[in-house]
Amino acid sequence: MAAIRLGDVAPNFTAESTEGTINFHDWLGDSWGILFSHPADYTPVCTTELGTVAKYKAEFDKRHVKIVALSVDGIDSHHGWISDINETQGTTVNFPIIADEDRKVSELYDMIHPNADSKLTVRSVFVIGADKKVKLTITYPASTGRNFDELLRVIDSLQLTAYHKVATPANWNNGDDCVVVPSVATEDIPSIFPKGFKEVKPYLRMTPQPNLN
């Protein structure tokens, strides 16, 4: 199975989930999406992750991002695990978890890395745009929990840079200054970015974030 690369159309699939049958592309509609995998149900790190995502769902909703998780265990196991997540993490799981017992989706998205584990998925993350194309992939080992603040930060950057001729510098957060992309000529910057700009070097021009009032 070839790795999924940035800009590829996210492979479509139909699978059972804790919220019913999902056809992935239909389920996404015109939203952005995050598909993220978990090595197995009833595992400690995954329990904290899913609880965190439930608590962050309003932040993803504000960004028009739908969330779906995946584990290679079955629906009954998922529902039992959700009870544990709600109890231990003080939240209510409010997004679907795909049951991938036949590993069809895991293999489609290259989530099983045999040199790490021949049966369980790694912690894969796929951020998918409204155009159904893959915008970001991150792969963590099973031992390391994800940073969902970072995923929100990255989505802010992806959505900003999709619609404005800017890039975001190191450690950028929503509201910080942005880099004017090299394809914009310096003489054209004032008409495109009326808030002004600072030329640090001819190739490094900074401007206030353009989508903020």
Q: Does domain 164-207 have CATH number 3.40.50.300?
A: no
Q: What is the pTM of this model?
A: 0.89
Query: How far is Cα 38 from Cα 30, in angstroms, rounded to an integer?
Result: 25
Strands 97-99 and 65-71 turn out to be parallel
The confidence score (pLDDT) of residue 118 equals 46
Which among 46, 99, 142, 154 is annotated as catalytic? 46
Confidence band (pLDDT; 50, 70, 90) for 121?
low
pLDDT tens-digit profile of 47-99?
Answer: 999 999 999 999 999 999 999 999 888 999 999 999 999 999 999 999 999 99
CA dihedral 96, 55, 89, 27 (to 10 degrees): 0
Percent above pLDDT 70 for the chain: 94
pLDDT tens-digit profile of 154-167?
Answer: 999 999 999 999 99
The class of domain 14-146 in CATH terms is: alpha beta
Q: Where are the beta strands (DSSP E) in 47-103?
A: 65-71, 97-99
Residue 114 has pLDDT above 70, yes or no: no
Q: Where are the domains of the chain?
A: 14-146, 164-207
Residue 178 among the catalytic residues: no
> One-letter amino acid identity for 127?
V
pLDDT tens-digit profile of 177-199?
Answer: 999 999 999 999 999 999 999 99
Place of tokens 């779906």: 68
Confidence band (pLDDT; 50, 70, 90) for 201?
very high
Q: Do domains 14-146 and 164-207 have the same CATH topology?
A: no
Helix, strand or coil, per DSSP, at residue 137: strand
Which strands make up the sheet holding 97-99, listed edge to edge?
A: 20-23, 14-17, 97-99, 65-71, 32-38, 123-128, 134-140
Confidence band (pLDDT; 50, 70, 90) for 37?
confident
The confidence score (pLDDT) of residue 174 equals 95
Q: Give exposure, 153-182, as e/b (b: 16+ Cβ within 10 Å).
A: bbbbbbbbbeebbbebeeebeeeeebbbee
Which strands make up the sheet holding 178-180, listed edge to edge?
A: 166-167, 178-180, 204-207, 198-201
End-to-end CA distance of the chain: 45
Query: How far is Cα 37 from Cα 73, in angstroms, rounded to an integer?
Result: 11
pLDDT tens-digit profile of 98-112?
Answer: 998 888 888 888 876
Query: How far is Cα 91 from Cα 50, in angstroms, rounded to an integer?
Result: 10
